[in-house]
């Protein structure tokens, strides 16, 4: 997953709103959102190549989401798949399991940080979330407000992050009700950044430009799914995933709802 936006404790009717895009090569095998057979409490899509996931939630309200840190010059081809970080946090959250705390899992992340290529991991439960960045070895709590997270640390204002944060902030502040399709519209924005605003991450101008929009579409790589995770004032979780073809066409929308 390459970008996500979070509105936390901004509205009384929806204390948590997360809108996220997963960007990936179209050829990478993936299954859509479902409750996993071996972990029936866990709702997520699944990367069928490495068996991890990029974003998920459990029936108990535990959640996690991942973005990669873009650093092509420091890629370790033998690194452990980052998708397991999301899956491992969610798998162990069962009612009768020995569920480790956020602080315990954070210690694990710190101790294993060099085994993975760069990442941001948003994790916790729907009432208390934090972001860990293994490149900076830093932790950032998600307090009240609207946040954006892409392929740098949470403090880096890439144009598409700023654009999405502004759009979501305006939306949650002005709308009387939250409408899923309007949140999906924010995630579907394909405006490219001006050349002067492009980050320089070492991938060259053409790729910097192509990846500078919230919704990405190139010949072989692009936005595969958009996902909404909403928690209302009654602790009901609504999860909606929209899958796209390599042409940007909607293939399927899956929706789930359950109470914590």
Q: Which domain holds residue 106?
A: 3-259
Q: What is the pLDDT of residues 218-253, one digit of tens each?
A: 999 999 999 999 999 999 999 999 999 999 999 999
> For residue 173, what are its two tokens?
């502040």
Report how many domains make up the chain. 1
Q: Please give the Cα distance from 213 to 234 (Å, whole number).
A: 34
Exposure string of 169-205, with b = 16+ CB inside 10 Å and e = fewer, is bebbeeeeebeeeebbebbbeeebbeeeebbebeeee
Q: Give me the CATH number covering residue 101.
A: 3.60.60.10
pTM of the model: 0.96
Q: What is the pLDDT of residues 150-176, one digit of tens each?
A: 999 999 999 999 999 999 999 999 999
Exposure string of 126-144, with b = 16+ CB inside 10 Å and e = fewer, is beebbbbbbbbeebbebee
Q: What is the pLDDT of residues 169-208, one digit of tens each?
A: 999 999 999 999 999 999 999 999 999 999 999 999 999 9
Q: Are 4 and 149 in contact (CB under 8 A)?
A: yes
Return the pLDDT at 92: 87
Return the pLDDT at 98: 56
Q: Please give the Cα distance from 147 to 154 (Å, whole number).
A: 8
Average pLDDT value over all residues in the chain: 95
Return the pLDDT at 97: 53
CA distances to 150, 169, 172, 203, 205 from 188, in Å: 15, 16, 17, 23, 22
Residue 128, pLDDT above cutoff 90:
yes
Q: Are 232 and 238 in contact (CB under 8 A)?
A: yes
């Amino acid at each position: 997953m390459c970008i996500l936006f979070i509105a936390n404790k901004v509205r009384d009717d929806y204390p948590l709103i997360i809108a996220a895009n997963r960007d990936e090569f179209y050829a990478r095998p993936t299954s859509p959102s479902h409750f996993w057979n071996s972990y029936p409490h866990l709702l997520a899509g699944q990367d069928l190549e490495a068996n991890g996931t990029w974003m998920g939630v459990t029936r108990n309200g535990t959640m996690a989401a991942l973005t990669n840190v873009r650093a092509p010059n420091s890629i370790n081809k033998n690194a452990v798949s980052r998708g397991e970080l999301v899956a491992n946090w969610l798998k162990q959250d069962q009612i009768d399991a020995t569920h480790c705390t956020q602080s315990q899992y954070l210690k694990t992340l710190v101790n294993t940080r060099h085994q993975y290529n760069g990442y941001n991991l948003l994790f916790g439960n729907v009432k208390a979330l934090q972001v860990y960045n293994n490149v900076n070895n830093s932790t950032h709590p998600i307090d009240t407000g609207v946040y954006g997270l892409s392929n740098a640390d949470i403090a880096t204002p890439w144009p598409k992050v700023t654009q999405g944060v502004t759009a979501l902030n305006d939306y949650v502040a002005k709308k009387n009700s939250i409408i899923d399709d309007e949140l999906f519209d924010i995630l579907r924005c394909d405006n490219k950044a001006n050349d002067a605003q492009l980050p320089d991450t070492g991938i060259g101008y053409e790729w910097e430009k192509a990846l500078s929009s919230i919704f990405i579409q190139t010949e072989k790589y692009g936005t595969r799914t958009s996902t909404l995770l909403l928690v209302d004032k009654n602790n009901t979780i609504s999860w909606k995933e929209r899958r796209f073809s390599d042409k940007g066409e909607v293939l399927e929308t899956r929706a789930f709802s359950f109470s914590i």
